[in-house]
A and B are shown apart, each in its own frame.
Chain A
Amino acid sequence: MIEYNKLIFELSIEDRIGYSLPDTKFNNYNISDLDEVFLRVDNPDLPEVSELDVLRHFTNISNKNFGVENGFYPLGSCTMKYNPKINEEIANSRNFKRLHPLQPIFTTQGAFKVYYDLQKILSEISGLSEFSLNPYAGAHGELIGLMIIKKYHESRGDFHKNKIIIPDSAHGTNPASVVVCGMEVIEIESNERGRVDVDFLKETVSNRDDIAGMMLTNPNTLGMFEDDICKISKLIHEAGGLMYNDGANLNALLGKVRPGDMGFDVMHINLHKTFSTPHGGGGPGSGPVGVTEELSDFLPNPRVKKMDDNFYVENSDEAIGQISSFYGNYLVSLRALIYLLTLGKENIKYVGRYATLNANYIKNALKTVYELPISGNCMHEVVFNGLINKENDVKTLDIAKRLLDYGMHAPTIYFPLLFSQAIMIEPTETESLQTLDEFINIMHKIAIEAKETPDKLKDAPTRTPIRRTDEVFAAKQMIFSYKDYLNYIDKRDN
């Protein structure tokens, strides 16, 4: 089969249509009645295609994607677990998706109950007091959480508290969120155990009164549990700061320990990781933010409240303000609640255990050929630093690309930044022993290939819809649209 490679614009035939719209009902009116000063001069260059053209086009390009149902997706820090079908079925019911966000609240009580119950369950799982589901994504949640921390200090007159401590293993969004929130980052180095160095932290915060808080991912991005967490929280609290938990790795903790009990005051949860909502090729996610009771007045507007059996909406002046059009990515929240009720308290406690068992099983099976920079039990993910045998200069990138040839998605690579050849593997709890064994076998096979036929890795992938891409060309030519593309072809050919 010849690989399909057309753009939708290239299927366009003048006068072909794919839509079905009602006939004009009111001939007395026409948009051309508007003064031409308001009207665009040219028609937009949108394609003119039939309904079947559209279906074939997108079906064909979808076949170039790799989804969770295609095969193993061990992307570290992304928690690519199975996205249940029942979530989709229910979230697609018209009783939820046809609701206008401003329609009278007594016509949307069921929708508010979903919001309220989910925030309640998240609060219980986190050991915190209340959640807002309004933040749209993990990074958005970080920003909103930091706004709450800043507002808390300002409410106490502590305007000088504007430093946030972040370990060097943190996701890039952490320091970026701090700066967007108008605060400053103090980055601290991880110790040789891949964790926060408590003595160094103590030194860092001593004699300072400008510490607003600390952002910590626990387990951290090396997949290691910050075992000094209680001491860390105490130190930060004594310095007058608040503890922020980046909940990206919450999956490992489900059923074992609650962030609030470890001293965290604020956190966000990635519903698209821990609670199984689809990643959608990069969104929509959802990043609910939870806080202790002391901070709950600062949660963003609008807030969903309950009195007796009725739900209502509250906007308060004490809140940090409004951070979204309405109630966040509502239909994503709905999916997360369905998932949580599917598991229930009886099953959710195994999530962290199985995810951790799976990661340790992989770690143990691969540590003889892949360099394990940090020893000890990992949590839900394991980080290697490339192959132990470096002789043929096979890089992590080559290993990742070769995995694609074997029908598996690549792990996260070159993150965290602490190791030059980082490979971060997160199997999640939904994968079977047989899948893990298959992955392990392939990783061993790749290690042998690295030794015996390294070109196979450096040329990989060869069995995917396309080969390795020219990223320099993309950055240099800056072709971001079909219009740019036509200009480029025109210039190239003349």
Chain B
Amino acid sequence: MFKYFAHTKADIEKMLKSLNIDSMDDLFDELPKEVILDSDYDIPSFMSESELRSYFEELGNQNKELTLFSGLGAYDHYQPAVIDAITSRQEFMTSYTPYQPEVAQGTLQYIFEYQSMIQTLTGMDVSNASMYDGTTSTAEACFMAAAIRKKDKILISRTLNPNTINVIQTYLKFKGLEWDFIESKDGVTNLENLKKKLDNDIAGVVVQNPNFFGIIENYEGFSEIIKDNKSLFIINADISTLGVLKTSYELGADIACGECQSLGMPVSFGGPYLGYLATNKKYVRKMPGRICGYTNDLEGNRAYVLTLQAREQHIRRSKANSNICSNQSLMALFVTIYLSIMGKRGLKKVNNLSYQGSHYLYDKLIETGKFSDPFKKPFLKEFVLETSLSHDLIKEALLENNIFGGFSLASFGEEYENLINFAVTEKRTKSEIDNLIRILEGLS
């Protein structure tokens, strides 16, 4: 007997009798004898619920929750309590992909609302129902550009987060597409280098804003040059920042993509997060993933359905532009609830508080004389500095105080080895920031 199996001995006997067999094993008589397991798996024995609780509590205690002062793709923003309350409802959490719209209007409606919110934040015409994460949504954006322009090469700015660059490279390499880099200068994408590298083979150009260094780049002039070359402009942005920064549309993007973790998701040791993807309506048929559309039922009631499915793998099979099947639906619900709670003012305020805290920290660190800014460019909530202090010393000193911050970018590549990263969200209090400054000031 086991709590997740309902069958009693009598039930099983009754069922076997109806099938005219003696044992459940008879149902497997087509399995080749030589491969049938004759013993239990070599895995742990079962645990009772209380044992599980203690076991995972003990495991959890081997982890340490730290005060987060670095970001690099995972940001410690506030999560309204409402989010967990709603997303844990079984109607949302346990349901399947909404292929039967009559009993899935809850899911379909929040996807429609999610798409609407991504639409207004990016300024683009249409968002899909979401992607796995910001890196894969950017790689899929590159595929889209190649399919739309029927060209094989992508230009990638060096100021993208190296994680994103790595994922794009993996995707392009296996698909048989090519890429080249636009060099950076003083921490930003070099326009002259872009001009030099744009040629007839280029399907798309990918940039990030704010970039890997936290810098808000000035992309004025980019879109004109890229469009003159008949290439597509792909802009990756942390979606939260679009509450205040120029929208992807205003910057001239043809495809907007990036990470949504900062909208209500805990850092979760890296996932689940959610990637967004948005574009102009004229490219919608080349867009990967699920798309929800408004319609009516046969009594004229409002209804929502998955639509334009002829783009997708379950219809087009080997002719599909993407193999993607699922979205990160429940995480799209996180985003939808978060943005409903924050509204236009709240999102602006979150950005402003993060801006204020990060700039205060930045100024104070520069004042210590131990840190310098190699780039001196505008930033929002995240910045990089050079320091005369050893990166390990900073790491150790902060850890002693249960702080994760000043993350050394050396692990991302030699070219970044002098840089350390700080991020400040609205969650960081003045006393936490002052404490951080005090610790770093005392190091030598």
Contact = CB atoms under 8 A, between A and B. Distances in A.
Contacts of B56: 90, 93, 338
A108 B296 CA distance: 50
B279 to A, nearest CB: 11
A480 B357 contact: no
Nearest to B426: A21
B245 A342 contact: no
A361 interface: yes
A435 B6 CA distance: 10
A324 B271 contact: yes
Given A323-B170, A483-B120, A49 B340 contact: yes
B30 A227 contact: yes
Contacts of A8: 113, 336, 340
Contact of A340 (B43, B245, B360, B404): B43
B414 to A, nearest CB: 14
Contact of B303 (A55, A63, A347, A469): A469
A44 B344 CA distance: 6
Interface string B57-82: 11111111110101011101010101
A7 interface: yes
Sorting the interface of chain A by its residue count into under 10, 10 to 19, 20 to 34 or 35 or more gives 35 or more
A373 to B, nearest CB: 17
A270 to B, nearest CB: 10
B168 to A, nearest CB: 10
Interface stretch (B32-40, B187-195, B199-207): B32-40
A1 B237 CA distance: 43
A61 B105 contact: yes
A146 to B, nearest CB: 8
A78 interface: yes
A16 B342 CA distance: 10
A465 B216 contact: no
Contacts of B302: 5, 466
Contact of B59 (A82, A110, A136, A477): A110
Most chain B CB inside 10 Å of its own CB: which residue of A113, A178, A377: A377
Interface pairs A-B: 9 shortest CB-CB: A326-B270, A344-B46, A95-B60, A280-B330, A110-B62, A321-B170, A432-B6, A101-B270, A65-B106
A349 interface: yes
B52 A86 contact: yes
Given A19-B342, A324-B136, A482-B119, 17 more contacts: A18-B346, A19-B346, A21-B78, A24-B352, A31-B348, A54-B340, A58-B86, A62-B91, A90-B56, A96-B268, A229-B32, A278-B94, A280-B330, A324-B133, A344-B43, A466-B102, A471-B305
Interface in A406-460: 409-410, 415, 429-433, 435
A261 B326 contact: no
A179 interface: yes
A3 interface: yes
B132 A140 contact: yes
Contacts of B295: 469-471, 473-474, 477, 479
